[in-house]
Amino acid sequence: MKKEFNIIVTGVGGQGVLTLAGIIARTALDQGYDVKASELHGLAMRFGSLEAHLRIGKKLSSPLISFGKANLVIAHEPLEVLRAVKYANKKTVFVFDTRKQVPIISYIEKTPYPSLSNIKKRLQKFSKNIISLDASDETEKATGSTIMANTYMLGRLAAEEILPFKKQAFVKTLRKIVPKYAIDDNLRVFELGYKSKK
Amino acid sequence: MKSDVLKKKGKAILLGNEAIVRGALEAGVMFAAAYPGTPSSEIGMTFAKLAKSVGAYFEFSSNEKVATEVAAGAAFSGVKSLVCFKHFGFNVASDSIYPLAYNGVQAGMVIVVADDPGCHSSGQSEQDSRYFPRIGHMPLLEPADPQECKDFTKFAFSLSEKLNIPVIIRITTRVAHASSVVNLGKILKGKRKGKFKKGNAHRTMPPDMINVHAELNDKLHKLSVNNKINFVKPGKGRVGIIANSVAYHYVCEAMKELKLNLPVLKLGLTWPFPETVVKNFIKNLDKVLIVEELEPVIEKEVSAVAKDTNPKLKVIGKTHIPDICELRQELVMKALAKITNKKYSVPEEVKLKLPKRLPTFCPGCPHRATFWSVKKAVPKDTVFGGDIGCYIMGIFPPTNMTDFVISMGASEGVSHGVAKATDKKPVAFIGDSTFFHAGMPGLVNTVFNKSNMMTVCLDNRWTAMTGHQQNPGTGMTAMGDKTKALKIEEIGKAFELDNVTVVNAYNLKDTTEKVKDVYKKSGSSLIVSKGECRLQFMRRARHKGIKVPVFEIDPEKCTKCGICLEKFGCPAIQRTKDGTYFIDKAVCWGCSACAQVCPVNAISPVKKKK
């Protein structure tokens, strides 16, 4: 791995943004890396935009990622991936779930929600490395709920080999931190995400 | 997600707040109290979760002042204690905090205050709590990251016991909610019970109080700490930097980026101000940049020290570093590039024009329904008082009702003032936890001073916004023990309000009618709108495997009037490009309120497939 690897995880409060960041962070610690992360709680979590910073490396200082310095942006929602472009550069990989959650304000104030193709077009101005996946849709099909969509995304990330960890390292973390009653479903969804890479 | 706070040894990833708990455990703390408030809440929640397993006592008290008093009671009894809250909590607790140093403590006592520069989760004011310790005659420690959170907390207890006064730890959002690798120490089994020491009461009474004041000033004047708390990161040149808290890490990041190697003095103890350390650092410098968030607290002290030590020193602070909002490394880079004459274009923030995503009531939230019902029941120009909690979002569209938000419990007092100063009848909205916290004196005052106003208590049984902590209405303590669930309507009756009425938040029509009736009656009235926080309700249902019926919109009946979405504003309801309304079944939590606001009965529960 390079000296450091910077990840922005975004989404809507309640989508499991902090959980996903936490799983990656613990996997990194197990692999002997230094980890620095920053997250927001409280008011920001009530269906508002949420942005977590996660840095993995040797010896890190700031818990925040500088503008233009993200290696990877993981978004649980397509509009939120656009909000994170300030952290992107030409090499950044964008990974986002295609399931929209249109903010109510966009109906009220008539600020239109961009189409998926428009979102991709706008992302391409920053980086060509774009992976869109139907994490929520596929998770809902498999489990009847979208709650584990973040685990699906993690599975896909493992398959893409963007992060400097092997698939088994993530599985190990999942086994460690997911409560017993939910572990089987999580591993199943993780596998679905893993196999979604064609 | 499981936390590693109790991990025996080695390394763990801890949140700043968790690291504070770990530090307390390593100092042998067995007693803590709190009132939740972002960004401090996880300190209390972590204690609550592990208290029983380590044999400690923890409580969420009814407010921060009470929590402070509870912790003081322990410290007066020779039992180490910790109390924590957010910056506004310090305001509430301050009346009880200031005399504590005078009284003195028999065991270590640490007060943790979490500031929120940038107000990510604080609707009131942007506040720098670093002024408080000066008034309170207590040392102030400012950790910069989770490792320091743990180490400083442990140190704070030894310092408190050495001086016999409480020690304050101030963190900010980016310290409290930063997580990083922490080297763990050994957890100590401390004292859970002690013996109250008599004979100190005179210390907070005149005339002794004045002598004690002198004694305190002297103690703080003589205090010096080791070079792990205040340290110099060596560098070259005659330009130096002084930084505190997370700003220190922004400085390190900025220097890396700009390839600078300037000496940095990192201050961990900022009150009493470490004059000697600063003197030694600045004596051979030409320029010093002070990097601190919010107010120029350190800057003013450095300027004062420099007057004697190095009068020619250029002290640069708030002219280059913003005194509002939170800092980022880019802002420090900008300042550093400027004062070192480096040609460097600092990356600017790219801002695309995108639809905003404001926080909103969750799907199925009882508050949205109550706001809706009350809006229907009272005159259009009614003044609506707001308070602190999830229902602060009554200010946002489409609810657009809340006319002011001041502080915990202020909705009633201010509304009463408005009622007296106008001929209007205001409506004050207050949540259950806020009511128990500071809402009762305001309500009593409406009776005492013959108010003509209405208070609507949004009673969802939890302190929801900060992460669903227990409150006096929940029926359970923070440690999970059963206790009385206080009924707000009974309190209203005991306060002899003119009208006390209970409504079901999820019955919109009935609520509107009852509010209408009560609003017509003169005097002081209380409506208690009951409906459990839907998030908690859903969590329980999920855990028990209970399916909550979701709703759907019949496209044949729907007239596309938009009331359910554009006026009522439930996040589960969406509209396609061609204007068809539908409910996202993954987001719907089955409260039925949308079915009640639909004027043409187009919304109903999804029928079970045969």
Q: What confidence tier does B226 reach under pLDDT thresholds 50, 70, 90?
A: confident
- Is B219 within 8 Å of chain A by CB? no
Which chain B residues are Cβ-neighbours of A34 within 8 angstroms?
180-181
From the list A43, A101, A113, the residue facing B121 with the nearest CB is: A43
Q: Is the pLDDT of residue A79 over 90?
A: yes
Question: Which residues neighbour B222 within 8 Å (Cβ) at sequence distance 6 or greater?
Answer: none
Please give the average per-residue pLDDT across B410-432, as a whole number: 98
Cross-chain Cβ contact B13/A63 below 8 Å: no
Residue A62 backbone dihedrals phi, psi, to 5 degrees: -70, 140
DSSP state of B439: I
CA–CA min distance B546, chain A (Å): 13
pLDDT, tens only, B174-189 = 999 999 999 999 999 9
State the burial class of residue B545 (Cβ atoms within 10 Å of its Cβ: 0-12, 13-18, 19+).
exposed
Nearest alpha-carbon partner for B173 in B255, B245, B264, B99:
B245
pLDDT, tens only, B512-534 = 999 999 999 999 999 999 999 99
Q: Nearest chain B Cα to A111, which residue? A: B355
- Is B11 within 8 Å of chain A by CB? yes
Half-sphere exposure of A101 (CA within 13 A, CB side): 32
Q: What is the pLDDT of residue B590?
A: 96
CA–CA min distance B329, chain A (Å): 7
d(CA B21, CA B5): 8
- Is B594 within 8 Å of chain A by CB? no
Nearest alpha-carbon partner for B93 in B437, B388, B434:
B437
Answer left, alpha or beta for residue B86, where phi above 0 means left and psi between -120 and 50 means alpha: beta
Q: What is the pLDDT of residue A41?
A: 75
pLDDT, tens only, B230-279 = 999 999 999 999 999 999 999 999 999 999 999 999 999 999 999 999 99
- Number of inter-chain CB pairs under 8 A, A vs B: 184
Q: Is the pLDDT of residue A1 over 90?
A: no
Which chain B residues are Cβ-neighbours of A182 within 8 angstroms?
none
From the list A12, A22, A122, the residue facing B357 with the nearest CB is: A12
Please give the average per-residue pLDDT across A7-16, as a whole number: 93
Cross-chain Cβ contact B179/A64 below 8 Å: no
User: Is-contact B529 B511, C-beta < 8 A?
Assistant: yes
Cross-chain Cβ contact A67/B349 below 8 Å: yes
pLDDT, tens only, B50-90 = 999 999 999 999 999 999 999 999 999 999 999 999 999 99
Q: What is the pLDDT of residue B610?
A: 45
| Enclosing H/E stretch for A27 | helix A17-30
Q: What confidence tier does B472 reach under pLDDT thresholds 50, 70, 90?
A: very high
Which chain A residues are Cβ-neighbours of B358 within 8 angstroms?
48, 103, 105
User: Is-contact B292 B245, C-beta < 8 A?
Assistant: yes
Q: Which tokens hold the place of B389? A: 């909690």
Please give the average per-residue pLDDT across B312-320, as a whole number: 98
Which chain A residues are Cβ-neighbours of B121 within 8 angstroms?
40-44
Q: Which tokens hold the place of B331? A: 């802002």
Residues in chain A: 198
State the burial class of residue A30 (Cβ atoms within 10 Å of its Cβ: 0-12, 13-18, 19+).
middle
Answer left, alpha or beta for residue B188, where phi above 0 means left and psi between -120 and 50 means alpha: beta
Nearest alpha-carbon partner for B85 in B35, B51, B46:
B35
- Is B253 within 8 Å of chain A by CB? yes
Residue B144 backbone dihedrals phi, psi, to 5 degrees: -105, -20
pLDDT, tens only, B531-588 = 999 999 999 998 898 989 999 999 999 999 999 999 999 999 999 989 999 999 888 9
d(CA A116, CA A123): 10
Please give the average per-residue pLDDT across B116-131, as a whole number: 94
What do you get for the CA distance between the two ends of chain B, in Å? 38
Please give the average per-residue pLDDT across B340-346, as a whole number: 90
- Is B214 within 8 Å of chain A by CB? no
DSSP state of A54: E
Cross-chain Cβ contact B123/A63 below 8 Å: no
Question: Which residues neighbour B225 within 8 Å (Cβ) at sequence distance 6 or greater?
Answer: B159, B268, B269, B274
Please give the average per-residue pLDDT across B354-365, as a whole number: 92
Nearest alpha-carbon partner for B269 in B156, B150, B368:
B156
Among A24, A34, A46, A83, pick the best mutation site for testing chain B contact (most B Cβ within 10 A). A46
d(CA B273, CA B268): 10
Among B354, B362, B399, B540, pick the best mutation site for testing chain A contact (most A Cβ within 10 A). B354
CA–CA min distance B599, chain A (Å): 19
Q: What is the pLDDT of residue B543?
A: 85
State the burial class of residue A131 (Cβ atoms within 10 Å of its Cβ: 0-12, 13-18, 19+).
middle
User: Is-contact B324 B148, C-beta < 8 A?
Assistant: no
Classify strands B140-141 and B178-183 as parallel, antiparallel or unpaired.
unpaired
From the list B177, B350, B355, the residue facing A79 with the nearest CB is: B355
From the list A14, A66, A111, the residue facing B355 with the nearest CB is: A111
pLDDT, tens only, A119-144 = 999 999 999 999 999 999 999 999 98
Q: What is the pLDDT of residue A130?
A: 98
Cα–chain-centroid distance for residue B109? 21
d(CA B575, CA B560): 9
pLDDT, tens only, B190-215 = 999 999 999 999 999 999 999 999 99
pLDDT, tens only, B497-517 = 999 999 999 999 999 999 999
Q: What is the pLDDT of residue B195?
A: 98
Q: What confidence tier does A3 reach under pLDDT thresholds 50, 70, 90?
A: confident
Nearest alpha-carbon partner for A21 in B467, B180, B49:
B180
What do you get for the CA distance between the two ends of chain A, in Å? 25
Average pLDDT over all residues of chain B: 96
- Is B328 within 8 Å of chain A by CB? yes
User: Is-contact B533 B460, C-beta < 8 A?
Assistant: yes
Q: What is the pLDDT of residue A42?
A: 62
Provide the chain B residues 180-209 that lie in CB contact (below 8 A) with chain A: 180-181
User: Is-contact B61 B44, C-beta < 8 A?
Assistant: no
CA–CA min distance B255, chain A (Å): 11
Residue B316 backbone dihedrals phi, psi, to 5 degrees: -110, 125
